[in-house]
C-alpha cells in the first residue's frame, strides 16, 4: 500500500493545518515541500500541484486513488478515512459549531491577515487606513474568541480541526504585526495547551526554524504574550 503523500510548503499556513491533523491522527505519510522562497513565492509550481489543484495551491493530498486539494476538504477526508482519534466532536450540534469555527478562522479571520501581508513599509494614506481597518478587525476577532474561551478549554470543547485552523491563523496574524497580547489571557492559555501537543509543536517549530533561517521574525508559539 502506498503511503499518503502531502504536498505543502515551508511557510504554508494551510499546508501546516493538514500536516498537524495527519500527525495528530498518527497516520504514516510522506511530506513533499514544494519550491517556495521569499523572492519568487510559490514558483516554479510543483508538477503534482499543477496536475491536481486547478488553483495551483498547496496543500494537495494523495491517498491511493484519492487526490484532493484545500485544507478543509482534506480535513473531511481524513476524518472519514481515519475516524479513530476523532478531530471533530461527537454530537451533531458540536460538530456543526466546530465546522463553523474552522470556516470562520479561514474565511472571516484570515482574509484580514491577508490584507496585512501586502503592506509596504511606507504606506500611502489609503494603505495606512486599510492597515488600521484590518488590524481593528483582527483585534475584534481576538476579543470575540477571548469571550468564547470563557466556557471552552478548546474552541469546540474538545481539541478539534477548529483549534488547528485558528492556531495557524493567529500565528500568521502575529507574524504580520497583530499578535495576541496580555489582553487575551484565555487565548494565551489556549495557545499554551496547543503548543504542548507534540503534533502542533513539531509542525510549528519547523516553520519557526524556517523563518529564523531566512532572518525573519518568529512569533511567540505558546502562552507568552509578545
Ligand atoms: N483555501 C485553501 C487555500 C490554499 C492556499 O492559499 N495555499 C497557499 C499557501 S498557504 C498557496 O499555495 N499559495 C500559492 C498560490 O496561490 O499561488 C486551503 O484551505 O487549502
Which CATH number do you get for residue 57?
3.40.30.10
Which atom of ligand 1 lies closest to the CA of 70?
A: 20
User: If you average pLDDT over residues 180-196, what whole number do you get?
Assistant: 98
Reported as a single tens digit per residue, the pLDDT across 94-116 is 999 999 999 999 999 999 999 99
**Is residue 42 lining ligand 1, measured as CB closer than 6 Å?**
yes
Cell reading at 195: 503548543
Which strands form 60-63's sheet, in the order they lie side by side? 29-33, 4-8, 60-63, 66-69
Residue where a domain stops, chosen among 81, 111, 128: 81
CA of 169 to the centre of ligand 1 (A): 13
Q: Is the model's pLDDT at 195 over the cut of 70?
A: yes
**Is residue 12 lining ligand 1, measured as CB closer than 6 Å?**
yes
User: If you average pLDDT over residues 215-219, what whole number do you get?
Assistant: 96
Residue 177 is predicted with a pLDDT of 93
222 occurs within a structural domain: no
The average confidence (pLDDT) of the chain is 96
User: Number of structural domains, the chain?
Assistant: 2
Q: Name the 3-class secondary structure at 31.
A: strand
Q: Are 115 and 208 in the same domain? A: yes
**Is residue 13 lining ligand 1, measured as CB closer than 6 Å?**
yes
User: If you average pLDDT over residues 164-188, what whole number do you get?
Assistant: 97
CA of 14 to the centre of ligand 1 (A): 6
Q: How far apart are the first and last CA of the chain?
A: 46
Q: Are 101 and 204 in the same domain? A: yes
Reported as a single tens digit per residue, the pLDDT across 52-82 is 999 999 999 999 999 999 999 999 999 999 9
Q: Are 198 and 152 in the same domain? A: yes
Residue 1 is predicted with a pLDDT of 67
- Predicted confidence band of residue 120 (pLDDT cuts 50, 70, 90): confident
Amino acid at each position: 500500500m502506498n503511503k499518503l503523500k502531502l504536498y505543502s510548503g515551508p511557510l504554508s499556513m494551510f499546508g501546516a493545518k493538514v500536516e498537524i491533523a495527519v500527525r495528530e491522527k498518527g497516520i504514516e505519510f510522506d511530506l513533499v515541500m514544494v519550491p517556495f522562497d521569499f523572492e519568487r513565492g510559490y514558483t516554479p509550481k510543483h508538477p503534482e500541484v499543477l496536475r491536481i489543484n486547478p488553483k495551483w495551491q498547496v496543500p494537495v493530498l494523495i491517498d491511493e486513488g484519492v487526490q484532493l486539494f484545500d485544507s478543509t476538504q482534506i480535513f473531511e477526508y481524513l476524518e472519514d478515512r481515519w475516524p479513530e482519534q476523532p478531530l471533530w466532536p461527537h454530537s451533531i450540534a458540536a460538530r456543526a459549531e466546530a465546522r463553523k469555527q474552522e470556516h470562520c478562522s479561514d474565511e472571516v479571520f484570515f482574509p484580514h491577515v491577508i490584507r496585512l501581508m501586502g503592506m509596504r513599509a511606507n504606506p500611502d494614506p489609503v494603505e495606512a487606513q486599510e492597515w488600521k481597518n484590518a488590524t481593528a478587525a483582527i483585534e475584534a476577532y481576538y476579543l470575540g474568541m477571548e469571550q468564547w474561551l470563557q466556557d471552552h478549554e478548546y474552541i469546540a470543547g474538545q481539541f478539534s480541526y477548529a483549534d488547528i485552523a485558528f492556531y495557524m491563523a493567529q500565528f500568521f496574524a502575529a507574524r504580520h504585526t497583530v499578535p495576541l497580547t496580555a489582553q487575551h489571557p484565555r487565548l494565551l492559555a489556549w495557545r499554551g495547551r496547543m503548543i504542548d501537543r507534540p503534533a502542533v509543536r513539531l509542525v510549528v517549530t519547523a516553520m519557526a526554524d524556517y523563518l529564523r533561517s531566512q532572518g525573519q521574525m518568529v512569533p511567540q508559539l505558546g502562552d507568552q504574550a509578545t
